[in-house]
Amino acid sequence: MPFSIFGLSEPILRALQASGYSEPTPIQAKVIPLVLEEHDVMARAQTGSGKSASFVLPVLELLSGRRGEGKAKIRVLVLTPTRELTLQVAQTFETMGAFLAKKPKVVSLIGGESIGDQLYRVQQGCDILVATAGRFLDVLRKKQMNLSNLEFFILDEADKMLNLGFAEELDLVLVAIPEKRRNLLFSATYPQKIRDIAAKITRNPVEVTIEEETPTVQSILQRVIEVNHENRGPLLRHLLNTEKWEQVLVFMANRRATDNIAMKFKKYGFSAQSFHGDLDQEERNYTLEQFKAKKIRILFATDIAARGLDIDGISCVVNFDLPRSPADYIHRIGRTARAGKSGIAVSFIDHDDMAHFALIEKRSGIRLEREQIAGFERKGEAPKKVKGPAPVKGKGKSKKDRAREKKAAEEAAKGR
C-alpha cells in the first residue's frame, strides 16, 4: 500500500520519499485516514511502531491547507514524557514539513533551557509546539502563552506521563486550551487512569489497536537441548562462553527466578540483568536501553518480554523454562531474527518437559532434533507415569448437569 492512497499532498509525499518511507506501518495505515477525517483518536501503539508519523503526516496535511497570514499561532500542541521523544517528534514535524510551501514553525520545550528564552521563541510565532509535559506546565504558569487558536491536542506515550503525576496537572492544561479541538491520544497500555484521562479530553474517540504481529520464524534456527534441570545454569554459561551469541534473551518461568539467576550470572562475570513486571516502568525502560546499547549482554526475563519487545540486535533466545503455550513459544522466539536478521532459539528440556514440548511442536507444525551437549548430557530415566485411580462414574456432576445449574443461577440472578 503506498502513502499516496491517503490523498496526502505532493510536498508531503516528497518528504516521505526523501526519508525512505515507502509504505505506511500498520498504525499509520489506521490512524492517518482517521485524523484526516477529523476524528478524535485513542491509539494503542508502542515506540517503534511508526506512531509519530501517524499523527505528524495528517496534521501537517490539514494545517497546510488552512495556514493563515501573519504571525504563526500555536495550532498544535504535543505533550510527551521525555526530552528525547519531544525532540524526535519535533524533528519528524520538521522533516515531513520540509517541502511545504509555507514551512511550519516548530518549537520544542524541554527542561534545561531558560524558560524566558523558550517563551520568547514561542512568542515569536510558532505553529507547532512540542513539549515535555513538565516543562510545558512550567511555561504555562507564566501565563504569557496564547493557546486560543489551538486545533490539535496530542498526548504521546501517555502512560509514561502518569508516572510523572501528570493526571493531576492535566486540568491546568485543559482550561488553557479551546474546548473545540481535535484530540489524539497515544499510549502503549490503557490502564484505568489512562482511560479516565481519555474520557476527560477526547470526544467520541475512535479506538485503534494493531493486531499483534505473528512473528515469522523461518529465519530462526531452532535448537532443542536435552539437559537435567539442575544443569541448565552451567550449560547456559558453557554455551555463552563457546557460542558466538551477542545479545541473549533468556526466558524464565517466574520473576524471582529471573532475579536469582541474573545475580548468579553477574557473580560469574557475565553482564546480566533481570526484566519482569515487578520493576516499575522507569526501571524497565532503563534496563531495555542498556540492553539495546549492548551494555547488558544477557537479559533474564519473564513472558512480559515475549510480546511486543522490538529490539533488533537479539541474536539468541533461550527457553530456560518452557513457555506454557505454543503461542507463547512463537512469540518468545520471535524476539530474535528481527529487522531481516537471522537468529537462534534454544529450548532446554528435561525428562518431564518432553510431553509438553512435543505438544508445542505439534501445535506449531514443527519437529526438531534433540541435542545433547558433551559434559552436560541428560541423565536418568523419564519418570514413569503413575496412573491415578479410575474416575468413579456417577460421582461428579455431568456436563449437562453443570450447564443446567449454571443456567438456573443466571436466571435467578436476572430475576433479582
Positions touching ligand AMP (CB under 6 A) are 21, 23-25, 28, 47-53
Q: Give the nearer residue to ligand AMP in terms of CB position, either 32 or 139.
A: 32
Nearer of residues 52 and 183 to ligand AMP, judged by Cβ:
52
Nearest partner of 34 among 155, 212, 161, 209, judged by Cα: 209
Side chain identity, residue 356: H
Closer to ligand AMP at the Cβ: 47 or 149?
47
Placement of cell 521525555 in the chain: 82
Shortest separation between residue 1's beta carbon and ligand AMP, angstroms:
10
CB of 282 to ligand AMP, least distance (A): 19
Nearer to ligand AMP, 52 or 274 (CB): 52
Instruction: Give the residue from 309, 278, 267, 318 showing the smallest Cα distance to 291.
Output: 309
Single-letter amino acid, residue 324: R
Query: What does residue 396 show for φ and ψ, rounded to 5 degrees?
Result: -85, 170
Q: Whole-number minimum distance, CB 83 to ligand AMP, in Å? A: 14
CA 190 to mean position of chain CA atoms: 12
Shortest distance in whole angstroms from residue 19 CB to ligand AMP: 7
- The answer to whether the beta carbons of residues 210 and 49 sit under 8 Å apart is yes
Task: For residues 282 and 284, give the distance between their C-alpha atoms in angstroms, rounded to a whole number.
Answer: 5
CA dihedral 57, 62, 64, 67 (to 10 degrees): -140
Nearer to ligand AMP, 19 or 214 (CB): 19
Q: Do β-strands 314-319 and 247-251 pair in parallel, antiparallel, or remain unpaired?
A: parallel
Distances (CA, A) of 276 to 86, 121, 288: 27, 43, 11
Looking at beta carbons only, is 23 or 411 nearer to ligand AMP? 23
Considering the complex, state which of residue 96 and residue 322 has its C-beta at the smaller distance from ligand AMP.
96
CB of 110 to ligand AMP, least distance (A): 17
According to DSSP, the residues that pair with 77 across neighbouring strands are: 129, 153
CB of 51 to ligand AMP, least distance (A): 5
Please count the residues of the chain.
416
| Shortest reach from residue 28's CB to ligand AMP, in Å | 6
